[in-house]
Amino acid sequence: MKETPFTMDEDWLVYHPDPHKPEFRLPAGAVDAHCHVFGPGAEFPFAPERKYTPCDASKDDLWALRDHLGFARNVIVQATCHGSDNRAMLDAIAHSQGRARGVATVTRDISDAELDALHDAGIRGVRFNFVKRLVDALPLDTLEEIAGRIERLGWHVVIYFEACDLPEYFNFFSALPSTVVVDHMGRPDVNKSADGEEFDLFIRLLADNDNIWSKVSCPDRLSCSGPPDYSDVVPFARRVVETFPDRVLWGTDWPHPNLKSHMPDDGDLVDFIPRIATTTDLQHKLLVSNPMRLYWPEEA
């Protein structure tokens, strides 16, 4: 392996080297619908405009985790450290034997032919990121234009924002024409109530717009009570799963960018699933039928 030309951030936490085998047996065909690859930097350089420099996290390590946890497939989401250079993700998808698809980051100048090529390579959505510490968000009219252009491909838009920013973007999100998927339940502040005003607004976003879905992922990112139980996240995720069972997805978020307090054991994250999706029917929707409808509709 070539030496990486990048030095990861001093406070960067590297993914867990040896996650335990989950006690929860994932249903056959389960999809890890939110994960990333980073570089390797020697092969796929990180973007000059990135806001963090991560460790390398390769496709082979992702496949090893997939098999260890018991997933069948992955959806790889373009991480901001690669900007709109989707090559690391596309390389992973190309080497997945059909078991991975992806969500890309694109800019306004992308041509229709390039969008077609991304579709052929396994991309099924674009990501719009509004988290200020991660990106300088594109202007809303640019995002609107991109959302309009990807519609003909049947793609969806993945949006990432924090709960405090939802009032500002509520109308913009509601007007998006395609299917929309929110990352990590819109990052609620779990010190507040899962039935409180702030999370009610998130629930209303999905209740008012039946094209909007949510990932109920990242207890490790949202929790204040911490591992291995992440108990304070349970009422939030359960509320979303039980209210919108046909519009939820789940993912590991491996290799867990920007965690500062602890690095989760991915086995604990899988063992969290039956606490938020409490019946086999809900688990099957969350892990198999919903992601298959969105990412492998030809097989769903």
Question: Can residue 257 be called a binding residue for ligand 0GY (CB under 6 A)?
Answer: yes
**CA 22, chain centre distance (Å):** 21
Out of 79, 104, 126, 185, name the contact with ligand 0GY by CB under 6 A: 79
What residues numbered 91-130 form the site for ligand 0GY, per CB under 6 A? none
Looking at 75-83, 139-147, 224-232, 235-243, which segment touches ligand 0GY (CB under 6 A)?
75-83
**CA 169, chain centre distance (Å):** 19
Active site residues: 253
Q: Which is nearer to ligand 0GY, 220 or 268 (CB)?
A: 220
Q: Which is nearer to ligand 0GY, 47 or 200 (CB)?
A: 47
Q: Which is nearer to ligand 0GY, 253 or 266 (CB)?
A: 253
CB neighbourhood size of 130 (10 A)? 20
Q: How far is the CB of 137 from ligand 0GY (least distance, A)?
A: 13
**Residue 182 phi, psi (nearest 5):** -90, 130
Looking at 25-33, 200-208, 251-259, 271-279, which segment touches ligand 0GY (CB under 6 A)?
251-259
Q: Which is nearer to ligand 0GY, 13 or 79 (CB)?
A: 79
Residue in this structure with the two tokens 């969290």, named with its chain if needed: 272
Question: Can residue 258 be called a binding residue for ligand 0GY (CB under 6 A)?
Answer: yes
Q: Which is nearer to ligand 0GY, 24 or 52 (CB)?
A: 52
Question: Can residue 80 be called a binding residue for ligand 0GY (CB under 6 A)?
Answer: yes
Looking at 73-81, 96-104, 231-239, 286-294, which segment touches ligand 0GY (CB under 6 A)?
73-81
The two counts, helices (H) then strands (E), for the chain are: 11, 8
Residue 32, strand partner residues: 74
Residue 74: strand, helix, or coil: strand
Report the sign of the C-alpha dihedral through residues 278, 283, 274, 181, in that order: negative
Q: How far is the CB of 99 from ligand 0GY (least distance, A)?
A: 20
Out of 8, 72, 121, 134, name the contact with ligand 0GY by CB under 6 A: 134
CB neighbourhood size of 293 (10 A)? 16
Plot region of 87 (φ>0 → left; ψ -120 to 50 → alpha; else → beta)? alpha
Residue in this structure with the two tokens 């395609």, named with its chain if needed: 178
Q: How far is the CB of 295 from ligand 0GY (least distance, A)?
A: 17
Is 190 in contact with 236 (CB distance < 8 Å)? yes
The site for ligand 0GY, by CB under 6 A, has a size of 8
Q: How far is the CB of 264 from ligand 0GY (least distance, A)?
A: 12
Residue 76, strand partner residues: 35, 102
Q: Is 159 exposed, middle or buried (0-12, 13-18, 19+ CB in 10 A)?
A: buried
Q: Which is nearer to ligand 0GY, 223 or 258 (CB)?
A: 258
Provide the token pair at 178: 């395609």
Whole-number Å distance between alpha carbons of 181 and 202: 12
- What x/- string results for residues 164 through 183 when contact with ligand 0GY is judged by CB under 6 A? -------------------x
Whole-number Å distance between alpha carbons of 180 and 182: 7
* Site of interaction with ligand 0GY (CB under 6 A): 79-81, 134, 183, 253, 257-258
